[in-house]
Structure 1
Amino acid sequence: MACFNVRVYGIMINEQKQVLVSDEFIRGGYYTKFPGGGLEFGEGTLECIVREWQEELAQEIKVVEHIYTTDFFQISAFDNTSQILSIYYLVKPTSAFTAPIIANPFDFEIPEGIEEVEGVRWIEWNDFSSEAVTLPIDKVVADLVKERY
């Protein structure tokens, strides 16, 4: 049965003008994307992004502004049965940034039998573009971020 999958992501740009991305191994594939995740039933999008960053990065954030909501059809890369609707916000840390940072893309171990592993890293502004991320909607947002900020 076809359904919608609502995803909420945060774009963080630090004082050195670097952009935070998440390198993830998911179901046998490698993806570079923005930190965030799925909206849970009963939750608003702002609650979702705060929860996702707390769960994934142990990072307290505040939402600064809305950047983009998907305005085109995008099928899920993972199940081919759900339509993805992604919402992106510019976020700022409200606590010290203490998440472990990887230096290079996918610089992590993948234990046998584990389907999902992730690590975050900063990308220099001059190296950041739609080519730096994997998923189609993220590519649109990367171009918007480069234009606006």
Structure 2
Amino acid sequence: MFNVRVYGILLGDNGDILVSDEYIRGGYYTKFPGGGLEFGEGTRDCLKREFKEEMDLGVEVTDHLYTTDFFQMSAFNPEHQIISIYYYVRALEPIRAPLRSKPFDFDERELKIYSEKKECETFRFIPRTRFNEESVTLPIDKVVARLLTAR
């Protein structure tokens, strides 16, 4: 079975890179914002929906950056193959979601969500000068991080 994921690369004013720090299924992950493609949805619409749901942020999806070109088994279900698609996105409005300066700096609101959903997330920008493949957790994100730092 295939699991299609769509992620956005949002660059800040200084080229800083937005990441999502998440606690999911007992593990801590730093990844690019985005999520799973739903049935009947296009990849760009998926990414717009994910940014709206996760950050209450309207975005414009711009250039395609990368699509998985190797086998990647899901970390959560060994019967699923992950295909991830990455696009650059541009914020259409100011970011209202709380931004953190430290990884996994969850506030009371996120911890309340955790108590209900058993997962939580928060967002932060990593300065481009400090961003590298070690900044993110997932194998496919590491490939994209290398692409971003090579530019």
Q: Please say whether Structure 1 and Structure 2 have the same fold, judged by a TM-score greater than 0.5.
A: yes
Task: Give 1:58's aligned residue.
Answer: 56
Q: Kindly state the Cα deviation for residue 146 of structure 1 after the two structures are TM-superposed.
A: 1.4
Deviation at 1:115, TM superposition (A): 1.6
- For the pair 1:91 / 2:76, whether they are aligned, the reply is no
Equivalent position of 1:105 in the other structure? 103
Distance in 2 between residues matched to 1:99 and 1:115, nearest whole Å: 20
**Shift in alpha-carbon separation, 1:112–1:55, aligned structure 2, 3 A:** closer
Gaps in structure 1 of 5+ consecutive residues: none
Residue 137 of structure 2: which of 134, 137, 140 is its match? 134
Within 5 Å, which residues of 2 pair with 1:15-34? 15-34=13-32
Give unpaired runs (5+ residues) of structure 2: none
| CA shift for structure 1 position 112 | 4.9
Aligned length: 146
Q: SS of the residue aligned with 2:129? A: helix
Question: 2:115 & 2:88 partners in 1: Cα distance?
Answer: 35
The alignment's C-alpha RMSD in Å is 1.2
Please identify runs of 4+ aligned residues in structure 1 that moved more than 2 A.
Answer: 109-114
Per the alignment, in what secondary structure is the counterpart of residue 99 of structure 2? coil
Q: Give CA deviations for 1:18-41 in whole Å, capped at 9, x if unaligned.
A: 100000000100000000000000
Question: Match for residue 125 of structure 1?
Answer: 128
Match of 2:42 in 1: 44
Residue of structure 2 equivalent to 1:144: 147
